[in-house]
Structure formats: C-alpha cells, structure tokens
DNA sequence: AGTATCTAATACTCAATAGTATCGGAATCG
DNA sequence: CGATTCCGATACTATTGAGTATTAGATACT
C-alpha cells in the first residue's frame, strides 16, 4: 500500500480556504466603510471573528490582503446582452447595467479611491488594472452581439474608454450627490453616448 | 504722532501668512504625490523648509491642514465663454476645458480620491463639496451665453450633472490609461453629450 | 492510539508619527 | 533700550498598528 505522496490534504485546504474567505470578506466590508489606511488588521480580524494570526496565516502582509481584496472584486458593468441588438438597445443595456451599480456606489467608490491612491505610487499595479479594463474595452467596444450593419459614433476602442469613464464618473458623482444621479439619468447619459436620441 | 491703538502688527501678520502659504503649498505638492495618509507632517514641514512647529503654529491639526489644502484648490473646468455661442460651440469649449485638465489628472485625482475617502466618514464634508459643485451646476447647466433658441438634450440640471460626471470620469480614466484618453477624445465625448454630431 | 503537522491565538517587538511642552530669538512698543 | 509678545525650532511623550515568535489545539497519517 504505497502511501500516496501527492495526496492533497483536503480538510486542511478547505479549512484554510474558509478562513481565507472569511478574512477576505471581512476586509472587504470594513474597507468599504473606512478605507484601507484607516483600517487596522486587528479590526479586520475582529470583524471576521478571528485574530491577526489568522490573517497572517493566509496573507503575507497587509498589502497582499489589499491586493487580494481588489482582485476579488467582481468586474462590474455587465450589460444583459441579446443576439442582434440594435445600437440603441445595446447602449440602453449598458445604461441599465451602470444604473444597477448605483446602490453600490459607496462601496465601489471607496475601493476605486483606495486603488487610485495605491496606483499612484505603484506603477505595476496601475498597469494590472489597466489591463483588466482593457479586456472590457474589447468586449464593450466591439459589441459582440451588435448588429454589424450599425456603426458607432466613435471607433470601438475610443467608445469603450468613454463608456468606462462615464460609468466611473457617474458612480463618483452619485456618491457625492446621490439625488442628482438617478437611474433614469444614467440611462439617458448612455443614450447620448450612443449618438442617437431616437427615443426623444 | 498719536500711537494708533489699532495699528495692526503688519510684519507679524505677513510673516504668519507667508509661512502658512509655504506650508500649504508644500502640503499640496507632497499630498499630490503620495496621498494624505501616507504623508507625515514632518515630511510636509521638511518639504517647506520648516519644522513641525511651524505647521502647528499655523494649523490646529493635520486634519485642519488637509481641509485647508482642499479648500484652496481652484475650481476646475472653466470653459472659455463667448457671447452668443451655439450649443455645439459651447460644448466644444467644455470639452477643451476638460481636456486642458488632463495633464493635472494625477494631482487632481489624488485629491479627489483622498477627498472621497474623507467624505465617506464625514457627512458634513460631503455636503460642503456637493454645494461647491452645485454652484457649477447652474453655471454649466444654464449656459449663460448660450443662444436662447437652442435647447439641450436634457434639462440643465441633469445635463450639468453629466458634464461633471463625465469630466471626472475622464480624469480618472486618464490617470489609469493615459494613452487611451487623448484631448481629442475628450472633446469628442462632450460633442456626443451635446447631442448633435454636426461636425461629422 | 500515537505521533507528526498544520492553523490560528496570544503575547510580544519595534517603528512611525500625531501631538505637546519648552525655549530661543526676532519684531514691537513704551 | 528694556520689556513684552509672538513665531517657530527642538526635544519630548504617547499611541497606534504592522509584523514576529511562540504555543496550544486541531487534523491527518500509520
């Protein structure tokens, strides 16, 4: 009976991943409220019902934890696509996707803000995020299901930059003045980007 | 030669304001590069060629200094207005004003990010900034010199929110991916907002 | 069962830094 | 000129918080 030397210890791995997940979730929550700098590892650990020891057994440093949290954030702005959408329909979907993010604006905004400050002094991180968005550039820009006949007002790459910038800007603005930025306005904004105010 | 009892001590006042200005300027510079949290008062003082004592003789706390720096920032996005502009001209001017801000994106972005994080836990500050932007809402929205006959695609208030959001978003996006956000693209973006791509 | 191994709690160290107390020196006024 | 007042430098305290060393307890392997 050969002792399988490569039999992965399943329970440990699970335990490990569970606490890792707990720490990550706790970190995400606390950071959303207070920001990364203002949050101590003790606070994060306590919020997870654990201690700093647990944090350091899962993450090498506070910075690592921060990056892991950032990485774990879902890609936002995922419009509901259908086959053969018209341009107007496509941008309407984009607008609705962006509007759906408004409730999370506070949380998202906190992370964006932290990230920007971090990227300010970490060129490698800036690039990583830039690449991450670049993926979406294509997706949004080429509008995969978009009826080939219709053309955008701008080249796909440029248009997707604008989409990105607009949704980010709307989120921040919503954070600042929640009442001014309504879901309807967001949808209208994207309609304007589409270049065809056909619905009035 | 009556000794004026209310003769204000000019030299002290000047001296005071000079060092205050030096500290403010130094703080602004350093914060732009590293962010507020990451900057110590010693660093700021040293950058101003002074010591912490000077800082505390001018500002009650680090927070006070931060707020003073924020308050001292110039209002951005000031389009060059002429009498009787067409809508297209007006939005073109807006676009150029926004494009002109791109070189400062890094600095501006740092302050925005810091501010948002601060506003996250300081409701009063959020309101103050919101009001500050509200002023611009009117200005931009009503487009004072805009030919009365032309109408915007959206009500002034909504439109100015979008203008605000878009310029902010473009700034952040430029910070992230400088090459994607060219001045020309910024101008085009505002043309789209205007709703009339007449020049194409 | 008994031993080896890994996780996470406890209890520290150590550096950074906001804020304070004190003092020296310059400008002001009588 | 002497006394006074205010600014700003120096030297200090106190606190916070990241990271480490150690250990107890749980889990797996034979």
| Structure token pair of residue B80 | 């060059």
- pLDDT over 90 at B191, yes or no: yes
Q: Kindly report the nearest CA distance between residue A67 and chain B, in angstroms.
A: 17
pLDDT tens for each residue of B67-115:
999 988 877 778 888 877 888 888 999 999 999 999 999 888 898 899 9
Task: Using CB atoms, pick whichever of B109, B158, B165 lies closest to residue A116.
Answer: B109
Residue A128 pLDDT: 85
- Residues whose CB is less than 8 angstroms from the CB of residue A99 and which lie 6 or more positions away in sequence, other chains included: A183, A184, A186, A187
Residue B148 pLDDT: 56
| Structure token pair of residue A91 | 């941008």
Beta-bridged to residue B162, according to DSSP, are none
DSSP letters, A74-130, are: PP-------TTB-HHHHHHHHHHHHHHHGGGHHHHHHHHHHHHHHHHT-HHHHHHHH
Task: Quote the CA–CA distance of A120 and B93 in Å, as a whole number.
Answer: 29
- pLDDT over 60 at B27, yes or no: yes
Whether B110 sits inside 8 A of A119 (CB atoms) is no
pLDDT tens for each residue of B154-163:
888 899 899 9
Strand, coil or helix: A60: coil
A192 vs B: CB within 8 A: yes
B13 vs A: CB within 8 A: no
pTM score: 0.85
Task: Quote the CA–CA distance of A180 and B162 in Å, as a whole number.
Answer: 10
Answer for B7: CB within 7 Å of strand C. yes
Task: Quote the CA–CA distance of A125 and A121 in Å, as a whole number.
Answer: 9
A139-148, A187-196, B183-192: which is most confident: B183-192
pLDDT tens for each residue of A103-129:
998 888 898 899 989 998 999 889 988
Q: Give the residue among A180, A162, A105 at the shortest CA–CA distance from B137.
A: A180
Give the mean model confidence (pLDDT) for residues A29-57: 95
Residue B80 pLDDT: 86
Tell me which nucleotides of strand C come within 7 A of a protein CB: 6-11, 16-22, 27-30
Nearest DNA or RNA nucleotide to A10 (CA to C1')? D28
Confidence of residue B196 (pLDDT cuts 50, 70, 90): low
């Amino acid at each position: 009976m050969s002792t399988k030397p490569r039999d992965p210890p399943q329970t440990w791995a699970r335990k490990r991943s569970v606490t890792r997940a707990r720490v990550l979730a706790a970190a995400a929550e606390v950071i959303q409220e207070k920001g990364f700098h203002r949050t101590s590892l003790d606070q994060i650990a306590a919020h997870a019902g654990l201690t700093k020891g647990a944090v350091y057994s899962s993450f090498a440093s506070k910075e690592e934890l921060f990056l892991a949290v950032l990485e774990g954030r879902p890609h936002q702005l995922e419009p509901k696509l259908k086959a053969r959408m018209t341009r107007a329909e496509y941008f309407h979907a984009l607008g609705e996707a962006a509007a759906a993010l408004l409730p999370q604006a506070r949380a998202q905004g906190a992370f964006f803000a932290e990230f920007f400050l971090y990227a300010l002094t970490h060129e490698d991180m800036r690039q990583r995020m830039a690449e991450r968005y670049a993926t979406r550039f294509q997706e949004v820009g080429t509008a995969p299901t978009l009826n080939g006949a219709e053309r955008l007002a701008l080249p796909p790459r440029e248009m997707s930059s604008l989409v990105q910038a607009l949704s980010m800007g709307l989120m921040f603005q919503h954070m600042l003045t929640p009442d001014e930025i309504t879901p309807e306005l967001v949808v209208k904004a994207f309609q304007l980007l589409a270049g065809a105010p056909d619905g009035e």
